[in-house]
């Protein structure tokens, strides 16, 4: 149960997991800090009743990095993400992409958030 401070490509040998779990999310606003809180719950094979298994929190800077990783891993998701975006007026919080990475700036342009 922790806040993610970095994200980088790993080198460990991995394989697909055999089981699936459910994940709930919450948005936490505390002291001018917004966090996305993700909690997973034990698999269907767990012997005890379902309970929180792991939780992570992501701040805005980490969200930007995670979006970049997602676009790198799944380059074809951008049209679906654009279609799923609610039709809302321009949000002034997102108008400035100065200092953001080129991938993130491209994403903002594709989603119609930045010029």
Q: Which long-range contacts (CB under 8 A, 24 or more apart) does 25-31 make?
A: 28/57
Going from the C-alpha of 8 to that of each of 20, 23, 39, the distances in angstroms are 24, 22, 21
* Helix 102-110 and helix 60-73, axial crossing angle in degrees, nearest 10: 80
Dist CA 63 CA 94 (whole Å): 13
Q: Are strands 2-3 and 52-58 parallel, antiparallel or unpaired?
A: parallel
Q: What is the pLDDT along the chain (115 residues), one digit of tens a residue?
A: 899 999 999 999 999 988 888 889 999 999 999 999 999 887 777 666 666 778 999 999 999 999 999 989 998 888 887 777 766 554 444 444 455 666 666 666 666 665 5
Say if pTM beats, i.e. exceeds, 0.85: no
């Amino acid at each position: 149960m922790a806040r993610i401070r970095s994200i980088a490509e790993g080198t460990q040998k991995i394989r697909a997991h055999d089981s699936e779990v459910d994940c709930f999310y919450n948005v936490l606003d505390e002291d001018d800090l917004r966090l996305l809180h993700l909690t997973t719950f034990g698999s269907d094979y767990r012997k005890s009743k379902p309970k929180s298994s792991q939780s992570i929190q992501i701040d805005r800077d980490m969200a930007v990095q995670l979006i970049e990783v997602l676009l790198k891993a799944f380059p074809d998701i951008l049209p679906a993400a654009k279609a799923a975006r609610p039709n809302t007026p321009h949000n002034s919080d997102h108008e400035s992409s100065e200092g953001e990475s080129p991938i993130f700036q491209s994403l903002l342009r594709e989603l119609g958030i930045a010029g």
